Amino acid sequence: MKAPVMKPAISLALCLALGAPAYAQSPPQVDPDGTVHADVTVPPSEFLSPQARAALVARLTAPAAPMITGSDFVTSARQTSDAASRITIAKWRAIYPVRIDPQTIGGVMTDVVTPAAGVAPENRHRVLIDLHGGGFFTGARLGGQQEAIPVAGRGRISVVAVDYRLAPENVFPAASEDVARVYRALLKDHKPGEIGIYGCSAGGALVAQSVAWFQAHQLPAPGAIGVFCSGAMPRFWYGGDSFAVTPMMNKRVQANPAQLKKGAGSLYLAGAKSDDPLVAPGAFPDVLARFPPTLIITGTRDTSLSNALVTNARLLDAGVETQLFVEEGLGHGEFNEIPGSPEADQAYTVIWRFFDKHLSK
């Protein structure tokens, strides 16, 4: 006996019940090259905690920031970044009381973040280096403190937040040089395996660039690294499915990819070539093969999701031990921006367990 034919109305109801995307007006249209055009409704993930959901709604419904161009763009962006970081830092310090000591290491300005209760005895000879995000042109000092506090508090370990040189005042490889100076100085008191390095967004890309820089300048690899909200491939935040889909999910206007690439090149990567292993090590298997154990963190609404996934796959192909952690419903670096949420707690538990497992004791 033939199976009964399901009526269209019942089919639609079943798809919706199973969580298939709802098309607001019409079914998707497909170009000959495979490009899909669709009018899609995307609700917040049902798996988000109440705290994360509230933060998402607040962010998506906030008034759009005024458009600033020209010479005032960098200044305005830095002011906005610093103001947001101050708020987040206060929240993290309420959860993890810490001491923040400005210190010059290897001739580079840093902030050494230490738990107020002291470093755990098993971590006395270990240290972590944080490379802040901010597109290589914002996030100085405060961005690093914001990212260092929860790791220092969760792991009861000292974290050195590096205030590396930024664009447009400086261009590649200034940041890699600064990281290497700090790393070389720390090697005087620590074995390579006792040092871990992590960063988010531009900082995540810089972690990968720094490991490649260490190789090129005969420095030993650190014990473990974390590439968060980014990847090691060319065009760190752009490309792949996530670049095409997540701007809409995050209420951001999708820009022309060529314009974005040009914009990045006009700042820190001005004059740099994507076929340089010191710029995009993910494109070079021989460089990746010498990477230490690597933790990659991203989110399903993170524009860099595709780059993170491809980076993880390339590392696996190169025989490197990796751990991939993708947080449902979160955007670019948002696990750091919702202190006290289950998502933030889980992310920093994953981060600390990874470094605790791989750093020498």
- What are the per-10-residue average pLDDT scores of the chain (361 residues)? 39 36 68 85 93 93 71 86 97 98 98 98 98 95 98 98 96 97 98 98 96 98 98 78 81 53 66 91 97 98 94 98 97 96 98 98 88
pLDDT at 7: 37
pLDDT at 67: 62
**126 and 188 both lie in a single domain:** yes
Query: Rounded to an integer, what is the distance from CA 275 to the centroid of its chain?
Result: 22
**32 and 125 both lie in a single domain:** no
**6 and 129 both lie in a single domain:** no
pLDDT at 71: 64
Identify the bridge partners of residue 224 per DSSP, sorted by sequence position.
196
**Is residue 54 domain-resident?**
no
- The answer to whether the beta carbons of residues 291 and 303 sit under 8 Å apart is no
- The answer to whether the beta carbons of residues 260 and 330 sit under 8 Å apart is no
As a whole number of angstroms, the distance between CA 259 and CA 178 comes to 29
**Domain with 29 in it:** 1-41
**13 and 130 both lie in a single domain:** no
The domain tally of the chain equals 2
225 Cβ contact partners less than 8 Å away, ≥ 6 residues apart: 196, 197, 198, 207, 208, 211, 291, 292, 293, 294, 295
pLDDT at 19: 43
pLDDT at 25: 60
State the CATH number of the domain containing residue 322: 3.40.50.1820
pLDDT at 17: 36
**Is residue 49 domain-resident?**
no
pLDDT at 24: 52
Pull the structure tokens for residue 334: 């948002």
